[in-house]
Structure 1
Amino acid sequence: MTLTADAKGVYVISVTPFTDSGEIDFDSLDRVVDFYFDKGADGLTILGMMGEAPKLTQAESRAVADRVIRRAGGKPVVVGVSAPGLAAIGELGRAVMDMGAAGCMVTTPGSLKTDPQIHGYFAQVARTLGDDVPIVLQDFPLSTGVHISDEVLGRIIDEVPQVVMLKHEDWPGLAKITRLRAAEAEGRRRISVLCGNGGVFLPEEIARGADGAMTGFGFPEMLADVVRLAAAGDMDRAQDIFDAYLPLVRYEQQPGAGLAVRKYVLAKRGAIGSAALRAPGAGLAREAIAEVERLLARQEKRLKELN
């Protein structure tokens, strides 16, 4: 199944499980793939920033991709292939597409400084990967430092047909979704828009015209429920459910600590065997664990009240 501009729903950004000694835990990788789909994911995205992709070797990246794609059993898996050079992007991208990936996610390297450089980069990526490889453009200026204007994004959509999806992580960025959909209403080619940033603006993003979420959270069922309800027009119920999880979503937004929180919750729920991050990266301090546990208790209480 290859990605198209009509993709909708929730493509969970998967963690990469490690043992306490730092080796990839392939048994936990199987388990967390099953967990995400059991909790309502429509697809997965692997080897993203929250999947600790920069800490993997090229061989490990291929092994993880192969294992997840096989475990997904035909459900769509997008693979992050971002790298400093185009050769590495092409090598990993072609390899995972041969394995059965649905598409490749690519973000902007921080070296891009001008609008022509940004536009030219994605044209180069498309030529490197090939005409038949769907591309997810990850727009994440908070991490990359590269800001993609509406005009440049429009040129990429117009001139690089392999770009079928925007992973929208601009912040503030709700107006960008509105302007993108308005341009499509005037005749521009439609692309799918799935949103990241930990889902912190998810109800508003769906209301603005996003097709779903491409992010991670220790409770992926929240992402699935909010997207489903908001898409059906039941915004009040979607907001009520989102609000019940919002304190934990907010806690996850701490730079440098968010992934440790997510892995702690996933391990607590039995989705992975260990909450370990690969070095460099540390787990949660005792005080942070106590804070997360308090948030989880309050979340459970609120969800019971919402029935």
Structure 2
Amino acid sequence: MDMTGLSGSVVAIVTPFKEDRGVDFEALERLVDFHLANGTDGILVLGTTGESSTMTDREDYEVATCVVDRVAGRIPVIGGSGSNSTDESLRKSLGLQKLGVDGLLIITPYYNKSNEEGIYHHLNSVLDAVNVPCVLYNIPGRTGCSISEKNLARLSRHPNAWGLKEASGNIAYAATAARYVSEDFHLFSGNDDIVVPLLSLGGSGVISVWANIAPKTVHDMCVRWQGGDVRGALQMQLDNLELIHSLFCEVNPIPVKAALAAMGLITESYRPPLWPMAQTGRERLYEALADRGLISAESE
């Protein structure tokens, strides 16, 4: 599917696991159906929220194939193909492209980090090799490095560079990145708590953890903004801040998977080193879910 006009809410979908920690493909299909029924505009598989770093190549490709097949061209599917190894990112990008994803999410090299020129070539190598739109991923809190303005200026001109997922949480950086927004290069928030501020800078939407549990709300918030209802979109953002913050009171995706389990959509199962959340955070999460009507108060 052509993702050229993609905007709004793109869910960074979880990978549901069974109790034995194998991929639960039936639950994954149910989640895809849940998003299709509730207005989600696109699906990102194999991102941070999808726990791809603990999955095998075979599992990655099986998950991507499952989502692509279930979506059946109704909304765009983006595959996360990042790695701290350039060669590995290239291999994975080409593999996911062959499986039929509509776009790719490529991250800066983590752990080994690299210098500015190395980061440029790491990302540009993938852009040169593929023929699907690519979203660059800036999340220095996870990777230890950022896409510099110099590199963003160079990379944004590449015909396969479709956009930027900006997840630094730094509005000043986002404003700098917004200078490169065009008809061909799009800005998406990677932080659920500042979606509306990034929309005000020319953003097209959000690649969202929050949308896993409230897809219609996130979609509708973006639609309100795009339709000119700035105050309405802002109020939705503010009304959901406590829920959003509770989804990040422990490292993502631990809380969002706990939330989905409380909603009866998946089994609460993680791949180590991720572990079920502490009781204090769980109580805060359940209270926020109940407050937004996503679970009953009795199930807290």
Give the structure-1-normalised TM-score: 0.88
CA contact (8 A) 1:200 1:250 kept: yes
What is the correspondence of 1:271-290 to structure 2 with a 5 Å cutoff? Answer: 271-272=265-266, 274-290=267-283
Corresponding residue for 1:154? 153
Partners of 2:99 and 2:147 in 1: CA distance: 31
Q: Could you tell me which residue of structure 2 aligns to residue 163 of structure 1?
A: 161
Distance (whole Å) between structure 2 residues aligned to residue 276 and residue 49 of structure 1: 15
SS at match of 1:120: helix
Structure 1 residues 297 and 189: alpha-carbon distance in aligned structure 2, compared to 1, 3 A threshold: closer
- Cα distance in 2 between the residues matched to 1:96 and 1:190: 22
User: May I ask how many residue pairs the two structures share in their alignment?
Assistant: 290
Which residue does 1:175 correspond to in 2?
Answer: 172
> What amino acid sits opposite 1:283 in the alignment?
P
Specify which structure has the higher proportion of helix: 1
State the 1:183 CA deviation. 4.7
Show CA shifts across 1:178-223 (max 9, x none): 3444455xxx7740111112x1101111111100011212212221
CA-based RMSD of the aligned residues comes to 2.0
Q: In structure 2, how many angstroms separate the alpha carbons of the residues matched to 1:27 and 1:113? A: 40
* Structure 1 counterpart of 2:242, from 247, 253, 262: 247
Structure 2: give runs of 5+ residues left out of the alignment. Answer: 295-300
Answer whether contact 2:79 2:104 (CA < 8 A) is retained: yes
SS of the residue aligned with 2:6?
Answer: coil
AA matched with 1:241 = M
* Shift in alpha-carbon separation, 1:292–1:255, aligned structure 2, 3 A: closer
Task: Give the Å deviation of 1:248.
Answer: 1.3
Q: Is the 8 A contact 1:2 1:101 kept in 2?
A: no
Which residue identity lines up with residue 247 of structure 1 in the other structure? E
Deviations along 1:33-82, whole A, 9 cap, x unmatched?
Answer: 11122222111001001110001000110111100100011021000011
Range 66-75 or range 85-94, more displaced: 85-94
Q: Where do 1:183-202 residues align within 5 Å?
A: 183=180, 190-197=184-191, 199-202=192-195
Does residue 108 in structure 1 map to residue 108 in structure 2?
A: yes
State the AA in 1 paired with 2:172: A
Q: Which of 250, 264, 267 is the matching residue for 2:261?
A: 267
> Taking every aligned residue pair, what percent have the same amino acid on both sides?
26
Matches of 1:61 and 1:82, distance apart in 2: 12
Secondary structure (helix, strand or coil) at the match of 1:293 reads helix
Higher RCO structure (Cα 8 Å, ≥6 apart): 1
Report the AA paired with residue 69 of structure 1.
Answer: V
2:33 match: 34
Partner of 1:54: 53
Q: Identify if the C-alpha distance between structure 1 residues 241 and 171 changes in structure 2 by more than 3 Å, giving closer, same or farther.
A: closer
Question: Per the alignment, in what secondary structure is the counterpart of residue 136 of structure 1?
Answer: strand
Deviation string 1:128-149 (CA, Å, 9 cap, x unpaired) is x33x132110011111111222
Cα distance in 1, alignment partners of residues 82 and 55 from structure 2: 12
Q: What is the alpha-carbon distance in structure 2 between the residues aligned to residue 148 and residue 100 of structure 1?
A: 27
